[in-house]
C-alpha cells in the first residue's frame, strides 16, 4: 500500500466506510487477510495515528475535524457511535441473509456445482467507482465480487456443493437492491440411439407451412405440419422427468420423413433446458419413453452427455447403411446390368447439387460424397431392393433417380431408365470422427 500522510489518512477515514468496504480498496495488500480483517486493521491504524496527532500540539479546526472522525472509529477512546457505511449502506452486514435467500432458491433444483452472481444498485456502483477515482486506487475489488465469494463460500459449506468457474449446473444471481434471487439453470444433456419404426414421422418438430406455426384451421390449430416427431415423442417424456422448460433433439444426421430408422438406431443428444432435476433413473426413463411411444419409436443406451457431444454429432460424417426399394417407370429392371452399375458406384465420387426437395431450406451448392458399397438384394420385374453403404450426407433418393441431372452419376442415368424410390430404410449409422467439409 502506498505511503499515506496524515491529511490523506484523515480524508480516507472520514469516508465512513465499514471494514469490508475499506478492506476492498486495498484488495492485494497483506497476505492471508480477508477484506474484513484488512479493513479492521486499517481502521485501527487510522485510530492510532489520529489519536497520536490529537495528543500532539495540533489545535483549531484540524483538531476538531480529527476528533469528529475519531467519534466514528470503534477502537478510539473518543468513539461515540458508528454510522452506517456510506458506501454499501449496511449491505455487507446482510451476507447471512443473502445466503439464506440462495439456500431457499436452491431447494427447488438439483445441482452439484454452482456459481453466485450479484447485481448491486447503480448508486452503490457509482459511489464505489468515485472513491476509486478519488484516491487513484489500482487494486480495488468490486463489491459484487466480494459478495459472490463470501456468499458462495458459506453456501458451499452448508450444502456441500462445489463452485465451478466454467460449467456450473446453476448460477444464483442475487439482486441486492430487492433482495431476490434469480436462477440460471444449465441445460441437461442425455444421449442415446433411437429407432424410428413408423413412416411419416419427422425427426424434429415441423411448423405448419401455411401458418408458420401460428395455428390455423388447416392444421387444426396445432401449428404443426405433422402430428408428432421423434423429438417430441422422446423429449416430452424427458422434459416431464427432468421438470425442464423445453427440449431440443440433436441427431447425427437425419432420415427422411417417410424413411424408417432401424438397426442399432441413430445417435442423438437431447438438450433439456432449465431442468429442475438432474439425477434421473436413465434405465427407467428409457422404459417409459418406449412404452409411451407405442411402437413408433424406440430408444436405448441412454446416458448423460454434454454440449461437446452435440458439437461432435453435428461435425462428424457417419457411414450410413440403407435398404432402398426402387421401381422402374419403363419396364423390367435388367438385373445383371443393375449389378454392374452398382459395382461401379464406389469407384467414382458422387456429385450432388442440393436436391430440389430441400432447396428451400438448404444452401444451393454441390456436395461430393462417396458410395462405399452397393448391392442388389433382389429384383422382381419392375421392382428391386438394394443395399447401399454411403458417406454421411449422401442423398440416397437422388442417387437413385438423379433429381433431373442434379446428382451425377445416378443409378437411373447409368441404367438409362427412369426410376422412383418406393421405400427407404436406414439400417445403420456408424460415426466417423471426420469433420464436414
Torsion of CA 164, 170, 173, 178, to 10 degrees: -140
The grid cell for 119 is 447485481
The Cα 342–Cα 419 span in angstroms is: 14
Q: CA angle, corner 365, sides to 312 and 196, nearest 5? A: 50
Q: Is 256 noted as a catalytic residue in this protein?
A: yes
The Cα 58–Cα 402 span in angstroms is: 101
Instruction: Tell me, rounded to whole angstroms, the distance of Cα 170 from its chain centroid.
Output: 11
The grid cell for 427 is 439400417
Of 19, 93, 169, 256, the active-site residue reads: 256
Q: Which of 280, 213, 216 is nearest to 243 (CA)?
A: 280
Secondary structure in 3-state letters for 283-300 = HHHHHHHHHHCCCCEEEE
Q: Which DSSP helix (H) or strand (E) runs through 323? A: strand 319-328
Coil, strand or helix at 55: coil
Buried b (16+ CB within 10 A) or exposed e, 133-151: eebeeeebbbbbebbbbbb
The grid cell for 95 is 451476507
Phi, psi at residue 13, to the nearest 5°? -65, -30
Q: CA angle, corner 238, sides to 233 and 239, nearest 5? A: 100
The Cα 234–Cα 250 span in angstroms is: 12
> Which residues lie below 8 Å from residue 72, measured CB to CB, with a gap of 6+?
16, 79, 80, 81, 82, 83
The Cα 426–Cα 230 span in angstroms is: 15
Q: CA angle, corner 135, sides to 134 and 140, nearest 5? A: 110
The Cα 270–Cα 116 span in angstroms is: 27
The grid cell for 289 is 419413453
The catalytic residues are 256
Amino acid at each position: 500500500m502506498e505511503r499515506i500522510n496524515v491529511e490523506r489518512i484523515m480524508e480516507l477515514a472520514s469516508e465512513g466506510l465499514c471494514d469490508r468496504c475499506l478492506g476492498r480498496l486495498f484488495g492485494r495488500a497483506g497476505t492471508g487477510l480477508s477484506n474484513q480483517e484488512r479493513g479492521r486493521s486499517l481502521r485501527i491504524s487510522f485510530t492510532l495515528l489520529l489519536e497520536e496527532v490529537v495528543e500532539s500540539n495540533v489545535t483549531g479546526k484540524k483538531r476538531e475535524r480529527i476528533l469528529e472522525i475519531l467519534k466514528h472509529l470503534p477502537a478510539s477512546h473518543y468513539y461515540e457511535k458508528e454510522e452506517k457505511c456510506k458506501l454499501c449502506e449496511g449491505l455487507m452486514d446482510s451476507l447471512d441473509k443473502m445466503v439464506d435467500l440462495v439456500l431457499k432458491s436452491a431447494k427447488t433444483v438439483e445441482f452439484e456445482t454452482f456459481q453466485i452472481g450479484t447485481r448491486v444498485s447503480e448508486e452503490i456502483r457509482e459511489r464505489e467507482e468515485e472513491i476509486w477515482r478519488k484516491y487513484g486506487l489500482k487494486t480495488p475489488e468490486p463489491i459484487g465480487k466480494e459478495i459472490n465469494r463470501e456468499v458462495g463460500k458459506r453456501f458451499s459449506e452448508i450444502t456441500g456443493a462445489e463452485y465451478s468457474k466454467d460449467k456450473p449446473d446453476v448460477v444464483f444471481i442475487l439482486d441486492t437492491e430487492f433482495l431476490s434471487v434469480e436462477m440460471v439453470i444449465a441445460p441437461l444433456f442425455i444421449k442415446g440411439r433411437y429407432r424410428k419404426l413408423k413412416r411419416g414421422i419427422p425427426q424434429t418438430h415441423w411448423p405448419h407451412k401455411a401458418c408458420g406455426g401460428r395455428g390455423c384451421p388447416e392444421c387444426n390449430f396445432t401449428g404443426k405440419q405433422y402430428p408428432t416427431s421423434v423429438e417430441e415423442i422422446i423429449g416430452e417424456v424427458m422434459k416431464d422427468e427432468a421438470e425442464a422448460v423445453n427440449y431440443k433433439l440433436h441427431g447425427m444426421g437425419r432420415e427422411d420423413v417417410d424413411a424408417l430408422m432401424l438397426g442399432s438406431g441413430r445417435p442423438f443428444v437431447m438438450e433439456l433446458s432449465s431442468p429442475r432435476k438432474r439425477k434421473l433413473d436413465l434405465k427407467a426413463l428409457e422404459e417409459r419413453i418406449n412404452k409411451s411411444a407405442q411402437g413408433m419409436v424406440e430408444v436405448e443406451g441412454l446416458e448423460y452427455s454434454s454440449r461437446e457431444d452435440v458439437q461432435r454429432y453435428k461435425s462428424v460424417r457417419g457411414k450410413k447403411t440403407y435398404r432402398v426399394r426402387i421401381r422402374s417407370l419403363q419396364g423390367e429392371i435388367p438385373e445383371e446390368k443393375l449389378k454392374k452399375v452398382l459395382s461401379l458406384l464406389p469407384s467414382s465420387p458422387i456429385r450432388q447439387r442440393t436436391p430440389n426437395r430441400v432447396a428451400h431450406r438448404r444452401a444451393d451448392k454441390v456436395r461430393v460424397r462417396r458410395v462405399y458399397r452397393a448391392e442388389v438384394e433382389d429384383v422382381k420385374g419392375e421392382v428391386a431392393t438394394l443395399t447401399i453403404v454411403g458417406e454421411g450426407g449422401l442423398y440416397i433418393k437422388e442417387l437413385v433417380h438423379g433429381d433431373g441431372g442434379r446428382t451425377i452419376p445416378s443409378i437411373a442415368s447409368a441404367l438409362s431408365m427412369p426410376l422412383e424410390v418406393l421405400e427407404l430404410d436406414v439400417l445403420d449409422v456408424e460415426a466417423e470422427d471426420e469433420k464436414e467439409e
